[in-house]
C-alpha cells in the first residue's frame, strides 16, 4: 500500500482525540494525591483499582507493537505467535500467588530494589542496567517502529526517523505533564477502544476473506496450529515449553514496565485481581489480531513486509469515522506506551543510580532527574529504530529474540532467590556474570555470525539452566545468606498455610486461587481448540 488519503472527518477525529488525551493528562495530574511526591509520580500513589490495572496491563501488552507485530508474524508464520500470549496466563497466577505479595510487603519502588534486599547492590545494578538496555533496544524502539509502519502509509513522503522524533517528543511531553497516573488512566480508556476496534477489524477481515471455512481451506494448515513440531523453524514446541516460559516469567515477574502497574495497586487483592483480569484479556489477541493476520493472506497475498498487515486492514476495511477513532487510539497507545517505558526506565535511573550517589536529593530534584533521563532515552531509542527492520522480517520475532538472549540470567537468579532460601549473593553474581557471557556468545554466534545452529527459544533455556546451576553450586560452596535477606523475601510455606486458612472465608469470586484455576482452564481450552 503506497499511500492512503484520510478523509477530513477522520483527520478531525484524530486531532480531537489527541487534544483530549493531553487534557486528560492534565486532569489526572491535578487529581493525583501529590504530583510533586516521587511515589505519586512514579507509582500513581498506589491507589489503582483492579479493573484499571487489568486494562492498563492489557493496553501495555497489546500496544501498537502488539497490533503491528502479532498480525504481521501471524501473516508470515501462522497463529503460533499467540503462544507468547497464552504463556502469560500460566505465569500470572504464579506472580499473583508468590511474587506480588513479596513486592508489596517490601514497599519497593523497583524490581531491582527488591533484588538488592535479597542479594546485594550488584544484583540491583545489573537488573537496572539490563532493563534500561532493553527499554532502548526493544520496548521504546519497537513502539517507535510500529508507529512508523502506520504513519509511513499515511505520510509516504516522511522518513522513519522524522516520525520517530515526533512520536518520542509527544510521549516525553505527555509523561512530564501527567506522570504514571496519566499513563494508566489513558491506557484503561484506550484498552476499551482497542478491544472494540479489534473486534470490528477481526469481523470485517474474516468476512472479507470469505468466512472461517474459506480461511481454513485457503491458508496452509500449519498457519492455524498453535503447537508446532520440534523441527518448526519459528516456534518448536520444545522451545515453547522451555524458552517461552522463561520469557514469560521475566516479562511478568521481573520486568519493571509491567510490574510497576501492579505495584500501583491499592491493595494486594486488587493487584491480584487486576493481573488475572489482564491474563483473561490477553487470550483475546488470538481472535483479534492473530487470526485476522492469517486471514489477510487471502486479502493481501503479496505485502512488501508482514508488519504492514494491520495498517492495510484498517485502512482498507474500516468506514469513515471508525477509522479515525481507531487510528487516534493507535497513535495514543503508542504515545502512552512510550511514556510508560520512559517512566519505568527513568524510575530505575533515578532511584537506582542517581539516588545512590546523591541520597539526600529532594523529591523535586528526583523528579527533575527523571525528566532529564527521559530526554536521553528518547534520543537513544530514536537512533536504534532503523536497526529493527534490518535484523528480522517481523517486529515480533525481533522482540522475542532480543529477550531470549538477554533475560534468562535475571530470570534464573530471581527464581532461585524467590524459592530457595540457600541462594546467596556470591551465587547470584556468578550466575549473572556467567549467564551474560553465554548470552553474548549465543547472540553473536546465532544471530550475527550464524555459526551456532540453535533456535533462540532453545538458547534461552540453555542460558537459564547454566545461570541457575552456577547460582546453586556457588551458593552451596559459600556461606549462607543473612537471615534478613531470606525471611521476608523468600517464599514461605507457613505464609501459604495462613493465607489458605484466611481464604476459606472469602467468596469464591474474590478468591484469587479459584480465579487462577479458572483462567488456566480457559487457556487450556483455547490451546486445545487450535492445537
Give residue-wise pLDDT tens across range 202-247.
999 999 999 999 999 999 999 999 999 998 988 999 999 999 999 9
> What's the pLDDT at 136?
85
Q: Which residues contact 159 (CB under 8 A, 6 or more apart)?
A: none
Backbone angles phi, psi at 323, to 5 degrees: -60, -45
pLDDT, residue 36, reads 47
Report residue 517 CA to chain centroid gap. Answer: 23
Could you count the other beta carbons within 10 Å of the beta carbon of residue 52? 22
Q: Give the angle subtended at the CA of 26 by the CAs of 25 and 31, to the nearest 5°.
A: 95
Rounded to whole angstroms, how far apart are CA atoms 24 and 33? 16
Can you read off the three cell numbers belonging to residue 57? 496491563
- DSSP H or E run through 517: helix 512-529
Q: What percent of the chain has pLDDT over 90?
A: 44
Reported as a pLDDT band with limits 50, 70 and 90, residue 187 is low
Reported as a pLDDT band with limits 50, 70 and 90, residue 179 is low
What is the spatial distance between Cα 280 and Cα 51, in angstroms, rounded to a whole number? 12
Most confident region among 36-40, 270-274, 446-450 by mean pLDDT: 270-274
Report the range of poorest mean pLDDT among 36-45, 179-188, 342-351, 428-437: 36-45
Residue with cell 498455610: 497
Dist CA 134 CA 118 (whole Å): 23
User: pLDDT tens-digit profile of 275-299?
Assistant: 999 999 899 999 999 999 999 999 9
Q: Residue 35: pLDDT band by 50, 70, 90 thresholds?
A: very low
Residue whose C-alpha cell reads 500470572 in the numeric block? 92
Does the structure show a pLDDT above 70 at 320? yes
Q: What average pLDDT score do residues 429-435 get?
A: 97
When mean pLDDT is compared across 108-112, 301-305, 444-448, the lowest value belongs to 108-112
**Average pLDDT value for residue range 264-284:** 90
Residue with cell 500500500: 1
| Over residues 108-133, mean pLDDT | 86
Q: What is the rounded distance in angstroms from the CA atom of residue 402 to the CA atom of residue 406?
A: 6
Could you tell me the sign of the dihedral formed by the alpha carbons of 61, 65, 66, 67, in that order?
positive
Count of CB atoms situated within 10 Å of the CB of 287? 17
C-alpha cell at 337: 506506551
Are the C-beta atoms of 307 and 72 separated by less than 8 Å? yes
Residue range 434-443: average pLDDT?
95
Q: What is the mean pLDDT of residues 355-373?
A: 81
Task: Provide the pLDDT confidence category of residue 434 given band limits of 50, 70 and 90.
Answer: very high
31-35, 113-117, 390-394: segment of lowest average pLDDT: 31-35
Instruction: Write down the mean pLDDT value for the chain.
Output: 86
Compute CA distances 219 → 210, 224, 395, 418, whole Å: 12, 8, 22, 45
The answer to whether 292 touches 206, Cβ cutoff 8 Å, is: yes
Out of 36-45, 94-103, 166-175, 437-446, the most confident range is: 437-446
Instruction: Tell me the C-alpha distance between 386 and 164, whole Å.
Output: 10
- Average the pLDDT over each of 314-318, 337-341, 372-376 and give the range with the smallest value: 337-341
Global pTM reads: 0.85
Q: Look-up: residue for cell 474474516?
A: 206
Q: How confident is the model at residue 172 (pLDDT cuts 50, 70, 90)?
A: confident
Summarize pLDDT for 463-496 with one digit per residue, the tens.
999 999 999 999 999 999 998 888 778 877 777 8
Name the more confident of 255 and 320. 320
Per-residue three-class SS string for 372-397: HHHHHHHHHHHHHHHHHHHHCCCHHH
Contact 296, 313 (CB under 8 A): yes
Residue position matching grid coordinates 541457575: 468
Q: How confident is residue 24, by pLDDT bands cut at 50, 70 and 90?
A: confident
Is 365's pLDDT higher than 60? Answer: yes
| The pLDDT value given to residue 33 | 46
In this predicted structure, what is the pLDDT of residue 45? 47
Give the burial string for 449-471 (b: 16+ CB within 10 Å, else e).
Answer: eeeeeebbbbbbbbbbebbbebb
Triad 270, 276, 282: Cα angle to 5°: 135
Q: How far apart are CA 19 and CA 192, in angstroms?
A: 19
Residue pair 351/110 in contact by the 8 Å Cβ criterion: yes
The partner residues of 236 in beta bridges, in order of sequence, read: 228
Residues 6+ apart with CB under 8 A from 456: 239, 243, 400, 401, 404, 405, 446, 447
Which is more confident, 448 or 480?
480
SS (H, E, C) 38-107: HHHHHHHHHCECHHHHHHHHHHHHCCHHHHHHHHHHHHHHCHHHHHHHHHHHHHHHHHHHHHHHHHHHHC
**Could you write out the DSSP letters of every residue in 282-336?**
HTTHIIIIIHHHHHHHHH-TT-SSGGGHHHHHHHHHSPTTHHHHHHHHHHHHHHH
Beta bridge partner(s), residue 48: 265
Grid coordinates representing 247 are: 520469557
pLDDT at residue 249 is higher than 90:
yes
pLDDT at 266 over 90: no
Q: Calculate Rg over the CA atoms of the chain.
A: 22
Q: 470 or 359, which is more confident?
A: 470
CA distance 434 to 467: 7
The pLDDT confidence band at residue 30, using thresholds 50, 70 and 90, is low
Lowest mean pLDDT among 29-43, 52-66, 158-172, 325-339: 29-43
Angle at 491 between CA 84 and CA 483, to 5 degrees: 135
Q: Tell me the percentage of the chain whose pLDDT exceeds 70.
A: 91
CA torsion angle for 262, 263, 267, 268 (degrees, to 10)?
A: 70
The more confidently predicted of residues 271 and 170 is 271
Residue 42 pLDDT > 80: no
Angstrom distance (rounded) from CA 446 to CA 460 = 12
Q: Given pLDDT bands bounded at 50, 70 and 90, which one contains residue 406? A: very high
What are the tens digits of pLDDT across the range 43-95? 444 667 898 888 878 766 666 788 899 999 999 999 999 999 999 899 999 99
Asked if 321 and 9 touch (Cβ cutoff 8 Å), the reply is yes
- Residues for the chain: how many in total? 531
Q: Which three cell numbers stand for residue 255?
A: 520486568
Amino acid at each position: 500500500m503506497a499511500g492512503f488519503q484520510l478523509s477530513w472527518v477522520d483527520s478531525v477525529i484524530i486531532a480531537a482525540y489527541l487534544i483530549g488525551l493531553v487534557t486528560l493528562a492534565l486532569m489526572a495530574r491535578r487529581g493525583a494525591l501529590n504530583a510533586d511526591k516521587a511515589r505519586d509520580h512514579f507509582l500513581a500513589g498506589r491507589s489503582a483499582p483492579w479493573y484499571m490495572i487489568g486494562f492498563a496491563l492489557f493496553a501495555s501488552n497489546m500496544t501498537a507493537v502488539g497490533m503491528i507485530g502479532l498480525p504481521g508474524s501471524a501473516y508470515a508464520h501462522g497463529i503460533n505467535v499467540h503462544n507468547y500470549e497464552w504463556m502469560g496466563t500460566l505465569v500470572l497466577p504464579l506472580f499473583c500467588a508468590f511474587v506480588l505479595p513479596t513486592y508489596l510487603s517490601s514497599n519497593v519502588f523497583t524490581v531491582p530494589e527488591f533484588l538488592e534486599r535479597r542479594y546485594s547492590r550488584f544484583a540491583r545494578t545489573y537488573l537496572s542496567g539490563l532493563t534500561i538496555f532493553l527499554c532502548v533496544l526493544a520496548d521504546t524502539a519497537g513502539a517507535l517502529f510500529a508507529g512508523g509502519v502506520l504513519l509511513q502509509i499515511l505520510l509516504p513522503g516522511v522518513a522513519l526517523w522524522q516520525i520517530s522524533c515526533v512520536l518520542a517528543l509527544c510521549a516525553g511531553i505527555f509523561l512530564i505533564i501527567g506522570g504514571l497516573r496519566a499513563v494508566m488512566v489513558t491506557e484503561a480508556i484506550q484498552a476499551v477502544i482497542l478491544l472494540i476496534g479489534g473486534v470490528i477489524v477481526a469481523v470485517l477481515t474474516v468476512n472479507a476473506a470469505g468466512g472461517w471455512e474459506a480461511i481454513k481451506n485457503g491458508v496452509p494448515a500449519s498457519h492455524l496450529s498453535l503447537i508446532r513440531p520440534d523441527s518448526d523453524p519459528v516456534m518448536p514446541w520444545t522451545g515453547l515449553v522451555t524458552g517461552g516460559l522463561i520469557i514469560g516469567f521475566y516479562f511478568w515477574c521481573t520486568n519493571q514496565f509491567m510490574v510497576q502497574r501492579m505495584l500501583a495497586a491499592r491493595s494486594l487483592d486488587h493487584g491480584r485481581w487486576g493481573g488475572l483480569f489482564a491474563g483473561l484479556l490477553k487470550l483475546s489477541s488470538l481472535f483479534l489480531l492473530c487470526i485476522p493476520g492469517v486471514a489477510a493472506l487471502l486479502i493481501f497475498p503479496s505485502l512488501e513486509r508482514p508488519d504492514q498487515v494491520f495498517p492495510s486492514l484498517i485502512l482498507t476495511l474500516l468506514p469513515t469515522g471508525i477509522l479515525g477513532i481507531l487510528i487516534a487510539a493507535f497513535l495514543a497507545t503508542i504515545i502512552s506506551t512510550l511514556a510508560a517505558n520512559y517512566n519505568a526506565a527513568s524510575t530505575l535511573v533515578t532511584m537506582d543510580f542517581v539516588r545512590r550517589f546523591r541520597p539526600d536529593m529532594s523529591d523535586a530534584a528526583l523528579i527533575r532527574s527523571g525528566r532529564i533521563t527521559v530526554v536521553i532515552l528518547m534520543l537513544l531509542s530514536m537512533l536504534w529504530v532503523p536497526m529493527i527492520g534490518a535484523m528480522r522480517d517481523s517486529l515480533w520475532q525481533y522482540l522475542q529474540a532480543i529477550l531470549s538472549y538477554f533475560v534468562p540470567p535475571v530470570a534464573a537468579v530471581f527464581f532461585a532467590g524467590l524459592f530457595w532460601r540457600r541462594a546467596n549473593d556470591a551465587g547470584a553474581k556468578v550466575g549473572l556474570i556467567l549467564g551474560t557471557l553465554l548470552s553474548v556468545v549465543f547472540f553473536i554466534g546465532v544471530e550475527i555470525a550464524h555459526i551456532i545452529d540453535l533456535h533462540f527459544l532453545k538458547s534461552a533455556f540453555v542460558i537459564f539452566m547454566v545461570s541457575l546451576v552456577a547460582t546453586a553450586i556457588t551458593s552451596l560452596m559459600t556461606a549462607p545468606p543473612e537471615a534478613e535477606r531470606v525471611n521476608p523475601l523468600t517464599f514461605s510455606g507457613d505464609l501459604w498455610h495462613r493465607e489458605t486458612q484466611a481464604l476459606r472465608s472469602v467468596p469464591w469470586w474474590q478468591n484469587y486461587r479459584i480465579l487462577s484455576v479458572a483462567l488456566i482452564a480457559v487457556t487450556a481450552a483455547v490451546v486445545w481448540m487450535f492445537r
